[in-house]
Structure 1
Amino acid sequence: MQLPSAQLYFIALGVSEISLALLKRSGGSTVKKDRSTFGLLWLVIGVSIGLSFFVAGAVPYFGYPFTLFGYGTGVVFFCGGVLLRWWSIIHLGRFFTVDVAIAQDHTVVSDGPYRLVRHPGYSGVLLSFLGLGLLLHNGLAALLLIVPIFVALLWRIKVEEEALTTALGKAYTDYMARTRRLVPWLY
């Protein structure tokens, strides 16, 4: 039985994210606060993917053997991350844009996936890339994929939270005080 390779999962995620980027840019009734984080994030993701694929093929020293359990875990993390990301986007509704932007009537969304963490969409991105990292069967390649994307997301979260705190004030700072950023009960 031939199982899909990591490249197919990268392509599927890429098509999903490019579609989102084309369809969900901020509109006229929003104030952009992005500070170039959207472009930076895409640059980091692109470089990380390219570098991780190169290392997975060129540096076998850090490779580990294929197992059905490892493959299955990677697929479950990938699919779970994609589902979490889309649940977050759908739940956020018209307040979701790919660039950091504040709508004129923006409010704090604190139910659905947002009751567990402040940035469930980014948690989904990280979970998906963790799954993809496992599918590469190379520890160094997985680290080169996940760590830079995590750091870029932390910068974007900082910018996003500054914008939301400025726009929503105490309502958002209260939400921040009771809800973790990315991982329920931990971080």
Structure 2
Amino acid sequence: MKTLQILFAISMVAWFLSEILYKNILKSNDKDKKGKDKSTLNLLWIAIPFSIASSVTISYLTKFPITDEVWIYYLGVFFLYIGIILRFIIIRSLGKYFTVDVTIRENHQIKKEGFYKYLRHPSYAFSLLTSLGLGLYLNNWLSLVLAFVPTFIAFSYRITIEERVLIEQFGEEYLEYRRKTKKLIPFIY
């Protein structure tokens, strides 16, 4: 169990550091079509730390275990790592077109291969997987809700804003792509 706690601590540090780096390095620049974000980045920077802090706090204050089995901790850590790693891969695959704020870059194109063949927002899906992993690791129903729901609501709002911008920019091409893909969960949602 000690090894699991160390893996959890490392995953939390990696999560924080990666998100801080993304926020500080992957911003839009002066050449981009900006001003479309509608404060979604600020909302995410409120929702995610709130989710983490409140879910961890509640796990210490209450006991509503999801299960008495140890596998839940391993599944939680697994989802944390998979979410962090796959989000990094997605961000790298978008290259110069990835920004933390909703922005259209010069010569922007809709990515339709890789994970984007099945999901319109795989970066958000894997971020949510990380939140789900946190909730599972804490093994508390209230913590699970607090780890996932506020972040899900914030990403849902951001997806709405982002898709409006993409429809405005790409019109029928994006609408056709949207008809063929799901938002966050392949073949389901």
Same fold (TM over 0.5): yes
In the other structure, the counterpart of 2:3 is: 3
Name the CA distance, whole Å, in 2 between partners of 1:138 and 1:21: 30
Aligned: 1:39 with 2:35: no
Shift of 1:9: 2.7
| Per-residue CA distance 1:21-53 (angstroms, 9 max, x = gap) | 111011122112111000111101111111111
- TM-score for both structures, normalised by structure 1: 0.94
Q: Cα deviations across residues 126-182 of structure 1 (Å, max 9, x unaligned)?
A: 111111111112111111110110011000000000011101111111100101100
The list of structure 1 runs, each at least 4 consecutive aligned residues, that deviate by more than 6 angstroms after superposition, is: none
| In 2: Cα distance, 1:129 partner to 1:148 partner | 10
Pick one of 44, 52, 55 that aligns with 1:52. 55
Count of residue correspondences:
186
Q: Where does structure 2 lack aligned partners over 5 or more consecutive residues?
A: none
Question: Which residue does 1:93 correspond to in 2?
Answer: 95
In the TM superposition, what is the alpha-carbon distance from 1:66 to its structure 2 partner? 5.8
In structure 1, what is the Cα distance between the partners aligned to 2:67 and 2:2?
Answer: 16
CA contact (8 A) 2:73 2:138 kept: no
TM-score, length basis structure 2: 0.93
Alignment partner, residue 160 of structure 1: 162
Q: Name which of 175, 178, 186 aligns with 1:176.
A: 178
Q: CA deviation at 1:58?
A: 0.6
State the shift of 1:8 in Å.
Answer: 4.1
Give the 3-state SS of the residue equivalent to 1:100 in structure 2: coil
Uncovered stretches (5+) of structure 1, i.e. residues with no partner: none
Which residue pairs with 1:16 in the alignment?
A: 18
Preserved contact between residue 119 and residue 181 of structure 1 (Cα < 8 Å): yes
Please give the per-residue CA displacement for 1:92-136, whole angstroms capped at 9, x wherever unaligned. 111000000001211111001111100000010011111111111
Q: Which amino acid aligns with 1:93?
A: G
Q: Percent identity?
A: 37
Question: 3-state DSSP class of the match of 2:99?
Answer: coil
Partner of 2:83: 81
Matches of 2:66 and 2:178, distance apart in 1: 40
- Counterparts in 2 of 1:175 and 1:64: CA distance versus 1, 3 Å: closer
Paired AA for residue 3 in structure 1: T
Q: CA deviation at 1:10?
A: 2.3
Preserved CA contact (<8 Å) 1:56 1:63: no
> Alpha carbons of 1:8 and 1:65: their partners in 2 closer, same or farther (altered >3 Å)?
farther
C-alpha offsets along residues 62-119 of structure 1, whole Å, 9 cap, x if unaligned? 1356643212211221111112211211111110000000012111110011111000
Offset at 1:185?
0.6
CA RMSD of aligned residues (A): 1.5
Tell me the distance in 2 between the aligned counterparts of 1:34 and 1:127. 23
